Chains A and B, each alone.
Chain A
């Protein structure tokens, strides 16, 4: 996951974006290759009389297509976290849906929800009974780094 930090006059902004290793053209090529392999084999067997292989190959390639389409929809996901003098602003775009949450910096607390046993965890910003999960696009190590940074930014006295 790419995690970028921008320092502006107003404050600091973290921007997280998912890894997008494949371009749309490469995604298409991957799907075509898989369909070619699977479809070619299934057609061969269909010619030899085993036509029931064909529908299974079709279902499978359909599933791969759905998986790749799901990822493409999320390719432009982005989350930014801006900490200014007075505010903490979370804005993000997930599958084309935009949302924005603003908190008053002084009242904002970071809550870390540790996954039992596995070392993972989730980060939440909370204030006035509202809670928003942040850092869903980050790896565990990046979440830890971000949490460490946010604690100093939000003030150690407010930690829970």
Chain B
């Protein structure tokens, strides 16, 4: 006989689950960490949204009303960095934490402590990114990074204190992403339940797996690029300085070698989740599982060989232009397979239109527009006209808001009953959906038109001819921004389902839910022990 074991968490005998803030600081539970990732993403979504609403209000009419160009430049750049690194990526990681162990039959993520560290790196990184705004109020530095999120050299070499903050913030965010992706990779590869072969993995897990590999492939490039930027700024190197024998275009290559796969890093987990939602509400199995998995792999491979289409106008040699044009266009093939599979999943299904299904369908339509306008931009000849115009802004918001954020909303509405044990308020959810999709199009559709007419992006003032469309866009953005409060309220309401009298969710909260997580009660119960033993 011996005394209590040596595992560290057993030493404090009865306080196994510390309360208050300590619980959240020390938790290694994948569900706790998933919740923290998702809440952090939601908060940063509002922070990034508030920044861009100020920008849209400034753009309501020509001339400078609200802010000086310097602040305008800071707001657009930090908006992008916040939305990409602090909202969309953490949201996807939150999904991974909550769902991957449930979906592959693992008790937790493979590296729970690393998981905790990965999350807690995020708040300081977000603080670093936004702190220069506050410092500037006290006369320290000249505000946040004002180069746009791409940090192009030589502008960023000359930029103020904000660039240094952004560089360190990106480093920390990169470490967090790497820790997250290592965790996903080892969890999926090693902790699969017996009998779950790779080709039986849920599509969602496949999407995340490819994302994790893309992060492994590209984050070192970004880390290297911003480090070179730092040494160029402070330590006398000339990586990006033509006068010192360096090459500013090298920065663009490095940045977009990371930046283009980043788009798929953001989107693949959501492409993985959409088939589950479509299948659930069509009451049919997922169509073309293998085709979708192979498409994910193909997209992952193609995404790292197309980066230069982001700077066709930088003066690349013609053979390079042709290569990058054709390789970029070839991405539309696996994507078309995905679209086909999504639609075929719904085909002749017994469809119902609950909130997650509405968001999933909105996702398909709007993301389709993103794909088609992307093809236009992939054309070298056309891109000479569209480059750096509002057409690009509209295109990537169709990709990253409609494809990214609406994908996240799909997942949140779909899994909230599983997480909280209460059904969502459908009426509120549908209102949120319709307000979002209408105001989204109101915001970004006009930007295609002003872009085609020649309005450049990243300017606080513009020619009078663009005034009407910009006014419409700003009105749309305000509606879009404030309707997201409904989203937050709906999540709150679902989390406090008992107080609001929402119906309890059954294990299979959605009638058609087939994947493994719906076999468990919602939420996995505290007190009911009727389940018979699992004997394998």
Given A1-B107, A3-B536, A49-B247, do A99 and B190 touch, yes or no (CB 8 Å)? Answer: no
A60 touching B178 in the complex, CB below 8 Å, given contacts A68-B186, A118-B31, A151-B529:
yes
- Among candidates A38, A50, A133, residue contacting B10 with C-beta atoms closer than 8 Å: A133
Report yes or no: B107 in contact with A140, Cβ–Cβ below 8 A: yes
Which of A115, A122, A151 has the most C-beta atoms of chain B within 10 angstroms of its own C-beta? A115
Min CB–CB distance A135 → chain B (angstroms): 9
Q: How far is the CA of A20 from the CA of B191 in the complex (A)?
A: 6
CB of A93 closer than 8 Å to a CB of B: no
The answer to whether A53 and B182 touch across the interface, beta carbons within 8 angstroms, is no
Contact A145/B220 with A20-B190, A21-B192, A52-B227 known, Cβ cut-off 8 Å: no
**Contact (A38, B220) CB under 8 Å given A1-B106, A48-B250, A71-B190:** yes
**A19 pairs with B534, CB closer than 8 A:** no
A19-B106, A140-B107, A147-B529 are contacts. A37–B225 as well, Cβ < 8 Å? no
**A116 CA to B228 CA in the complex, in Å?**
46
Decide: B213 and A50 in contact? CB cutoff 8 A.
no
Q: Give which listed residue, A22, A41, A60, A147, contacts B190 with CB less than 8 A.
A: A22
Least Cβ–Cβ distance between B252 and chain A, in angstroms = 12
A86 within 8 A of B: no
Contact between A149 and B533 (Cβ–Cβ < 8 Å)? yes
Q: Contact: B5 with A137, CB < 8 Å?
A: no
Sort chain B's interface into a size bin. Answer: 35 or more
* Cβ contacts B466-485/A at 8 Å (1 or 0 each): 00000000000000000000
Partner of A101, one of B5, B194, B526: B5
Say if the beta carbon of A63 comes within 8 Å of chain B. yes
How many residues of A are in contact with the other chain, CB < 8 A? 70
B534 interface neighbour in A42, A118, A142, Cβ under 8 Å: A142
Query: Does any Cβ of A come within 8 Å of B274's Cβ?
Result: no
Q: Which residues of A contact B68 (CB under 8 A)?
A: none
Tell me the chain B residues, 516-531 only, with Cβ under 8 Å from chain A: 520, 523-531
**Contact residues, A100-127 vs B (CB, 8 A):** 100-103, 113-122
Which residues A62-79 have CB closer than 8 A to chain B? Answer: 63-64, 67-68, 70-71
Q: How far is the CB of A133 from chain B (nearest CB, A)?
A: 6
User: Within the complex, what minimum Cβ distance (angstroms) separates A25 from chain B?
Assistant: 13
**Chain A residues, CB < 8 A from B189:** 21-22, 26, 30
Taking the complex as formed, is B318 at the interface, i.e. its CB lies under 8 A from any CB of chain A?
no
Q: Give the chain B neighbours of A148 by CB distance below 8 A.
A: 529-533
A5-B535, A64-B216 in contact; A130/B4 too (CB < 8 A)?
yes
**Chain A residue contacts of B13, Cβ below 8 A:** 131
> A139 near B: Cβ within 8 Å?
yes
- Asked if A60 contacts B533 (CB within 8 A), the reply is no
User: Smallest CB-CB separation from A114: which chain B residue?
Assistant: B526
> Which chain B residues (159-206) contact chain A, with CB distance < 8 Å?
178-179, 182-183, 185-186, 189-194, 196
**Tally of A-B residue pairs with Cβ under 8 A?**
198
| A133-B7 in contact (CB<8A) | yes
A4 at the interface (CB under 8 A from B): yes
Closest beta carbon of chain B to A107's beta carbon, Å: 12
A112 to B254, CA, bound (A): 52
A149 to B530, CA, bound (A): 9
Contact A41 B217 (CB under 8 A): yes
From B10, B239, B528, B529, give the contact of A49 (CB < 8 A): B239
Q: Residue-by-residue, is A8-41 near B (CB-CB < 8 Å gives 1, otherwise 0)?
A: 0000000000111110001100100010011001
Asked whether B525 lies within 8 Å of A52 as measured between CB atoms, the reply is: no
Known contacts A4-B535, A148-B533; A119/B524 CB under 8 A = yes
Q: Report if A60-B107 is in contact (Cβ < 8 Å); known contacts: A2-B536, A71-B186, A101-B2.
A: no
Q: Bound state CA distance, A37 and B114, in angstroms?
A: 23
B107 engages A138 (CB within 8 Å) = yes
> Which residue from B4, B182, B526 sits with its C-beta under 8 Å from A67?
B182
- Interfacial chain A residues near B6, Cβ < 8 Å: 99
Query: Could you give, for residues 288-312 of chain B, a 1 whenever the CB lies within 8 Å of some chain A CB and a 0 otherwise?
Result: 0000000000000000100000000
Indicate whether B253 reaches chain A with its CB closer than 8 angstroms.
Answer: yes
- B532 interface neighbour in A70, A102, A145, Cβ under 8 Å: A145
Give A residues with C-beta under 8 Å from B: 1-5, 18-22, 26-27, 30, 34, 37-38, 41-42, 45, 48-50, 52-57, 59-60, 63-64, 67-68, 70-71, 94, 99-103, 113-122, 130-133, 136-142, 144-149, 151
A-B contact pairs, 21 of them (CB 8 A): A1-B106, A3-B533, A5-B533, A5-B535, A22-B189, A34-B185, A41-B217, A45-B221, A50-B224, A50-B225, A52-B228, A60-B216, A63-B178, A64-B182, A100-B2, A114-B527, A118-B29, A118-B31, A119-B524, A136-B107, A151-B529
Q: Which 6 A-B pairs have the closest CB atoms?
A: A53-B224, A119-B524, A56-B220, A118-B31, A57-B220, A148-B529
- B-side residues, CB < 8 A to A, are 1-7, 9-10, 13, 16-17, 19, 23, 29, 31-32, 35, 101, 105-107, 110-111, 114, 178-179, 182-183, 185-186, 189-194, 196, 213, 216-221, 223-225, 227-228, 231, 239, 246-247, 250, 253-254, 257, 304, 520, 523-536
